[in-house]
């Protein structure tokens, strides 16, 4: 969907660009960075140098900029197969202009000093909110800047885009791991472990948990139970389902989302800390659920928390995901040089079989702070599995492999030189 009415169009002369990674990183966020930098290099008359913020927006506020022009074409190309955030990411929420004008004035001071006219912000929901706020400073504070958000989040919860770069690779890792661990427990179940629990990410949206469902295709296949944040946890129903699976299949594999909560909203497991956005840090629901099973049903169990392994797993990335991550970075630059302000490149699904997609600009205002959760018709009536519609949606997103090169038996990932741009300002800023 394109929205030319809410986004401002303007032509800008040769200016530098600022690119930042924001929020939790993914296996493919660097592919978006490669898309931005390689595309910008093809437009030397519009974009001078791409400066990357060291640790995201913090790099802009502290004038800690990385000169990407000093990175070789080979390094930028290798970002496409390198996980993590090569430039450093940050969880940092800009307040509104009215609440903290000083932060915006500081941004402009830094942008002006380095002649930055393009702002590319690569992140999830909260980051699109930041991108939107920055897109507004042009008019509010009289500094011309073209701002484009670049979608990224393993949680897959941004609206208007069919999926979010980063998700397909986590989905693939979780589906693969669930299938492999299920084969292991099936071998052991007669005399040893009967229950295996895999905890996956996804704070408020169960997309990653749903992806675990791709591991099997028949009712008897693992996972036998999926716990979604979208469905309030019902302990008796859960235990009955686990018992039924052990009675009929000999074992039970459970995929549990870190965001699983009771009907009153309490998470089953909350680490007790909060991030800069006020989100509870989650983690540990896997052992909570496993203990519940042991105490009530007495089954021997193993559990695993996929945690950072899942979002760093570039070795088993989805080819589609890598392609889309690169494409949104490339499109962001193309939109920006066409003067599209306050937009985000969204992935539009044209068909599922064969899978066809395109990129269109959507307004940041419609994306910021909106969470897309798993719709009820993607979850089976009993609340513990995925439907055929969900499978149709998910399958194309994990399609294909894009293995990184290997050296001495390990993936050969790149590290940037990360050379700093010489500071021009006398003033400093403390986060
Ligand atoms: O960015 C999304 C996410 O990966 C969530 O699924 C997870 O809850 C969170 O980030 C973890 O964040 P952090 O790495 O800051 O603890």
The CA distance from 325 to 32, in Å, is 5
- Residue with the nearest Cα to atom 14 of ligand 1? 24
- C-alpha distances (whole Å) from 72 to each of 42, 68, 231, 333 are 14, 9, 48, 19
| Residues 120, 150 contacting (CB under 8 angstroms) | yes
pLDDT over threshold 90, residue 334: yes
Ligand 1 site residues (CB inside 6 A) read 23-24, 91, 124, 153-155, 201-203, 258, 275, 281-282, 311
- Residue with the nearest Cα to atom 12 of ligand 1? 24
Confidence band, pLDDT 50/70/90 cuts, at residue 368? very high
| Residues 402, 322 contacting (CB under 8 angstroms) | yes
- Residue with the nearest Cα to atom 10 of ligand 1? 24
Ligand 1 atom with least separation from CA of 26: 4
The CA distance from 409 to 325, in Å, is 26
| Residues 209, 257 contacting (CB under 8 angstroms) | yes
Out of 92, 166, 203, 210, mutate this one to test ligand 1's pocket (max ligand atoms within 8 Å of CB): namely 203
Closest CA to 35 of 374, 388, 321: 321
Q: In what order do the strands lie in the sheet with 195-200?
A: 225-227, 252-257, 195-200, 301-305
What digits encode the pLDDT tens for the residues 123-177? 999 899 999 999 988 788 899 999 999 999 999 999 999 999 999 999 999 999 9
- C-alpha distances (whole Å) from 298 to each of 79, 254, 292 are 48, 16, 9
Q: Tell me the CA–centroid distance for residue 138 and ligand 1, in Å.
A: 31
Out of 24, 93, 271, mutate this one to test ligand 1's pocket (max ligand atoms within 8 Å of CB): namely 24
Query: Average pLDDT of the chain?
Result: 94
Q: Give alpha helix (H) positions in 142-257.
A: 167-188, 207-212, 235-249
Question: What percent of the chain shows pLDDT beyond 90?
Answer: 87
Find the mean pLDDT for residues 294-310: 97
- Residue with the nearest Cα to atom 16 of ligand 1? 281
Q: Tell me the CA–centroid distance for residue 123 and ligand 1, in Å.
A: 12
- C-alpha distances (whole Å) from 159 to each of 163, 217, 347, 360 are 8, 28, 10, 13
Confidence band, pLDDT 50/70/90 cuts, at residue 280? low
List, in sequence order, every beta strand (DSSP E) within 124-217. Answer: 146-151, 195-200
Find the mean pLDDT for residues 195-210: 96
For residue 291, give both structure tokens.
């203990």
> Does residue 389 sit in helix, strand or coil?
helix
Indicate the domain borders of the chain. 2-153+316-370+400-411, 167-314
pLDDT over threshold 90, residue 272: no
Q: Which CATH superfamily is domain 167-314 in?
A: Phosphofructokinase domain (3.40.50.460)
What digits encode the pLDDT tens for the residues 45-59? 999 999 999 999 999
Whether 167-314 and 2-153+316-370+400-411 are alike in CATH topology: the answer is yes
Confidence band, pLDDT 50/70/90 cuts, at residue 2? very low
Selected from 3.30.160.100, 3.40.50.450, 3.40.50.1000, 3.40.50.1220, the CATH number assigned to the domain covering 2-153+316-370+400-411 reads 3.40.50.450
Question: Catalytic site residue 155?
Answer: yes
- Segment holding 103, helix H or strand E: helix 101-113
What digits encode the pLDDT tens for the residues 74-93? 999 999 999 999 999 999 98
Q: Strand 195-200 and strand 252-257: pairing? A: parallel
pLDDT over threshold 90, residue 115: yes
């Amino acid at each position: 969907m394109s929205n030319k009415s809410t986004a401002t169009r303007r032509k800008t002369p040769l200016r530098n660009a600022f690119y930042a990674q924001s929020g939790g990183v993914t296996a493919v966020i660097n592919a978006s960075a490669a898309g931005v930098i390689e595309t910008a290099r093809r437009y030397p008359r519009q974009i001078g140098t791409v400066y990357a913020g060291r640790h995201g927006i913090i790099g802009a506020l502290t004038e800690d900029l990385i000169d990407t022009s000093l990175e070789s074409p080979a390094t930028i190309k290798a970002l496409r197969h390198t996980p993590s955030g090569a430039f450093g990411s940050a969880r940092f929420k800009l307040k509104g202009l009215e609440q903290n004008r000083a932060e915006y004035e500081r941004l402009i001071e830094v942008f002006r000093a380095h002649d930055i006219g393009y702002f590319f912000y690569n992140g999830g929901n909260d980051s699109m909110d930041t991108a939107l706020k920055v897109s507004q400073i042009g008019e509010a504070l009289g500094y011309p800047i073209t701002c484009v958000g670049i979608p990224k989040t393993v949680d897959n919860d941004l609206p208007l885009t069919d999926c979010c770069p980063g998700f397909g690779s986590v989905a693939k890792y979780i589906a693969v791991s669930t299938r492999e661990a299920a084969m292991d427990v099936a071998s052991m179940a007669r005399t040893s472990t009967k229950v295996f629990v895999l905890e996956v990410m996804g704070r408020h949206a169960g997309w990653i948990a749903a992806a675990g469902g791709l591991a099997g295709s028949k009712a008897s296949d693992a996972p036998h139970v999926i716990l979604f944040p979208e469905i309030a946890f019902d302990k008796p129903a859960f235990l009955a389902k686990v018992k039924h699976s052990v009675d009929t299949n000999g074992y039970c594999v459970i995929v549990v989302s870190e965001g699983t909560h009771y009907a009153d909203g309490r998470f089953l497991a909350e680490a007790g800390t909060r991030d800069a956005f006020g989100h509870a840090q989650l983690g540990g629901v896997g052992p909570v659920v496993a203990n519940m099973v042991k105490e009530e049903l007495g089954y021997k169990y193993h559990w695993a928390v996929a945690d950072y392994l899942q979002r760093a797993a570039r070795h088993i990335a989805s080819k589609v995901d890598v392609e889309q991550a690169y494409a949104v970075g490339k499109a962001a630059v193309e939109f920006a040089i066409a003067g599209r302000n306050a937009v985000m490149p969204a992935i539009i699904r044209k068909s599922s079989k064969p899978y066809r997609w395109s990129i269109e600009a959507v307004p940041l205002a419609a994306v910021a702070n909106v969470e897309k959760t798993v719709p009820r018709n993607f979850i089976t009536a009993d609340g513990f599995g995925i439907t055929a519609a969900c499978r149709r949606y998910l399958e194309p997103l994990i399609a294909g492999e894009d293995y990184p090169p290997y050296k001495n038996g390990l993936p050969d990932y790149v590290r940037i030189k990360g050379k700093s741009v010489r500071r021009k300002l006398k003033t400093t800023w403390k986060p």
